[in-house]
């Protein structure tokens, strides 16, 4: 069975997908099928939205920014915007989960109306884990709220109604409440402090045109060949591909906003010139940046 596509959120909304053997994931936005033609998913990918995977059943290892987690029932994977991640599912016949993608604008609305949720999310980030394990009662409450959203959709209720947002708001309050869960650390030995520092350095210098294997290995006093092997071992993909994925995701977000030219976007995202940006973009998304821009204008 094919794994479902994860649909990036458009405008001020969210998407919710339920997946199991008997239930193919539904796409709750009329433009979702069109968008799936625009942004192909690859093994390691990233989104410009907050993504939560609510794990129900099956065998799945989730990889996010250098950490690997073996998921079990009750786990909630919290993937922040622009984090490189993937899920390795051993058997789709037993795989069951919800995925919720929340737009930046809607999340900002939630946080502005709930200072406690903002504090709880800050606390969750400080734990250094992308996975929370909810206590049984809190997990069941979360599932009930998510099921209520899907039931209302199936009955034909307007997807952008206040009720949808309120139900999601309640679910997020439960998920991020420190009293509801405990953080789950990555598998032992998967990451060390030096690698965390490297990821932080890349994040803070991502759009700098001189970010390269040579400059970063020199900064950390490592031989560049050793650094290349070390990075690939910890991240499961080469340094240049990791940087390209992150830069391209920023470019897609800026193309969505449609505020400056694509040539300017290429430079602002750290690419040395438009031609190299175009080549990588076309290879990754299987269409040109200008065609992507045109597709978004027509949404």
**Same domain assignment for residues 18 and 120:** yes
Q: Are 134 and 76 within 8 A, CB to CB? A: yes
Q: Determine whether 186 is exposed, middle or buried from the number of CB atoms within 10 Å of its CB (0-12, 13-18, 19+).
A: buried
Residue 288's domain spans which residues? 193-297
**Same domain assignment for residues 206 and 169:** no
Question: Tokens 């909304």 correspond to what residue?
Answer: 13
**Same domain assignment for residues 173 and 214:** no
- Alpha-carbon distance of 209 to 77, in angstroms, equals 32
CATH number at residue 69: 2.60.120
Strand partners, 79: 51
Tokens linked to 94:
């037993």
Of the pLDDT bands very low, low, confident and very high (cuts 50, 70, 90), residue 2 is very low
**Residue 54 parent element (H or E):** strand 50-57
Strand segments (E) across 58-112: 60-64, 67-70, 75-79, 85-89, 96-102
**Same domain assignment for residues 20 and 136:** yes
- The pLDDT tens digits for 38-77 are 333 335 677 888 999 999 999 988 988 878 899 999 999 9
CATH number at residue 275: 1.10.10.60
- pTM exceeds 0.85 for this model: no
- Vertex 274, ends 270 and 279: CA angle to 5°? 100
For the chain, how big is the Rg over CA atoms in Å?
20
Of the pLDDT bands very low, low, confident and very high (cuts 50, 70, 90), residue 3 is very low
**pLDDT on residue 34:** 40
Report if residue 90 sits inside a domain.
yes
Which of 66-75, 138-147, 242-251: highest mean pLDDT? Answer: 138-147
**Same domain assignment for residues 156 and 27:** yes
**Same domain assignment for residues 166 and 213:** no
Among the listed ranges 241-250, 279-288, 290-299, which one has the minimum average pLDDT value? 290-299
- The pLDDT tens digits for 146-185 are 999 988 887 876 655 788 889 999 999 999 998 888 766 5
**Same domain assignment for residues 164 and 75:** yes
**Same domain assignment for residues 174 and 28:** yes
Task: Tally the domains of the chain.
Answer: 2
């Amino acid at each position: 069975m094919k794994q479902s596509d994860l649909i990036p959120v458009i405008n001020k909304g969210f998407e919710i997908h339920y997946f199991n053997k008997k239930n193919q994931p539904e796409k709750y936005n009329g433009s979702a099928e069109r968008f799936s033609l625009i942004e192909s998913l690859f093994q390691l990918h990233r989104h410009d939205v907050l993504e939560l995977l609510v794990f129900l059943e099956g065998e799945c290892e989730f990889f996010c920014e250098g950490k690997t987690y073996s998921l079990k029932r009750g786990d909630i994977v919290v993937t922040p915007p622009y984090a490189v991640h993937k899920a390795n599912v051993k058997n789709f016949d037993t795989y069951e989960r919800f995925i919720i993608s929340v737009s930046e604008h809607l999340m900002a609305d939630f946080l502005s109306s709930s200072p406690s949720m903002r504090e709880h999310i800050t606390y969750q980030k400080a734990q250094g884990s992308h996975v929370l394990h909810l206590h049984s009662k809190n997990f069941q409450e979360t599932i009930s709220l998510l099921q209520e959203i899907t039931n209302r959709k199936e009955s034909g209720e307007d997807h952008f109604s206040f009720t949808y947002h309120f139900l999601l708001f309640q679910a997020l309050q439960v998920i991020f409440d420190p009293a509801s869960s405990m953080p789950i650390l990555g598998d032992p030995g998967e990451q060390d402090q030096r690698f965390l520092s490297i990821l932080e350095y890349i994040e803070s210098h991502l759009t700098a045109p001189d970010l390269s294997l040579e400059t970063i290995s020199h900064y950390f006093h490592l031989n560049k060949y050793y650094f290349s092997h070390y990075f690939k071992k910890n991240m499961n993909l080469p340094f240049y591909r990791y940087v390209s994925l992150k830069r391209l995701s920023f470019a897609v977000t800026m193309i969505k906003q449609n505020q400056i030219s694509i040539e300017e976007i290429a430079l602002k995202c750290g690419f040395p010139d438009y031609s190299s940006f175009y080549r990588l973009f076309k290879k990754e998304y299987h269409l040109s940046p200008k065609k992507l821009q045109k597709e978004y204008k027509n949404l």
